[in-house]
Amino acid sequence: MPPPPPPPPTTRSTGRAVLTKCEDKAAQEPSSSCPSSFPWPAFSYTESLHRTPDPWGREAELSLLLAEIGVGITGFGVFFIVLGILLYFDSVLLAFGNLLFLTGLSLIIGLRRTFSFFFQRHKLKGTSFFLGGVAIVLLRWPLLGMLLEAYGFVSLFKGFFPVAFGFLGSVSNIPFLSTLLQKLQGSSSMV
């Protein structure tokens, strides 16, 4: 008669993954190893903590919520920048708008992507002008700061402008907007 199979390993729950005593010991002490006959899972302990998708979709909901909040904060930032320009370069409104704009941008695309966007080697000139302009606006030199920011903004986003202008050119192909644009063009004639 063959020997009975070994009992299943004792497990404990960590919230995201179920670990055996052997895996838990290996996770705490990297030098220890489990027996070779142990059936290892397809993923490791650290992958289960960091890369396992949330079965309820909470991570996706949180990132979507942060992006929506970021769009709102960016919109308020642009609003305060425009209001600061209209009120003869009010330094407080411009500084507040700049901080809101940068905060909203980092919430929309994330901190890692924001840093990787601003600090690419070929964009360092535009980044230095843009962030230098923000710093000069914060030091209450609004006109000089906004000029530096404008140059940095154009330098940073010059690859995006053709896409934006292409989209604006295709607006006339949208059914409702094309009829609206035709009515607006017809009513403005003085003849």
As a whole number, mean pLDDT of residues 13-36 equals: 51
| pLDDT the model gives residue 176 | 77
For residue 48, CA distances in Å to 37, 56, 114 come to: 22, 15, 27
pLDDT score of 16 more than 60: no
Question: First and final CA of the chain: distance in angstroms?
Answer: 107
Helix 124-138 to helix 142-156 angle (10° resolution) is 160
29: its two tokens:
């002490």
Query: What is d(CA 152, CA 59) in angstroms, rounded to the nearest whole number?
Result: 34
Parallel, antiparallel or unpaired: strands 11-13 and 18-20: antiparallel
Lowest mean pLDDT among 15-24, 61-70, 111-120: 15-24
As a whole number, mean pLDDT of residues 81-85 equals: 95
Which of the 8 DSSP states describes residue 141?
-
For residue range 124-165, what is the model confidence (pLDDT) as tens digits? 999 999 999 999 999 999 999 999 999 999 999 898 888 887
Q: Are 78 and 105 in contact (CB under 8 A)?
A: no
pLDDT score of 169 more than 70: yes
Query: What is d(CA 122, CA 4) in angstroms, rounded to the nearest whole number?
Result: 67
- pLDDT category of residue 47 using cuts at 50, 70 and 90: very low
The 3-class secondary structure across 11-76, one letter per residue, is EEECCCCEEEHHHHHHHHCCCCCCCCCCCCCCCCHHHHHHCCCCCCCHHHHHHHHHHHHHHHHHHH
Tally Cβ neighbours within 10 Å of residue 125: 13
| pLDDT the model gives residue 60 | 77
Q: What are phi and psi of 137, to 5 degrees?
A: -65, -40
| pLDDT the model gives residue 119 | 93
pLDDT score of 37 more than 50: no
Tally Cβ neighbours within 10 Å of residue 82: 13
Which of the 8 DSSP states describes residue 120?
-
Q: What's the pTM value of the predicted model, to 2 decimals? A: 0.60
Q: In which element (H, E) is residue 77 found? A: helix 58-86
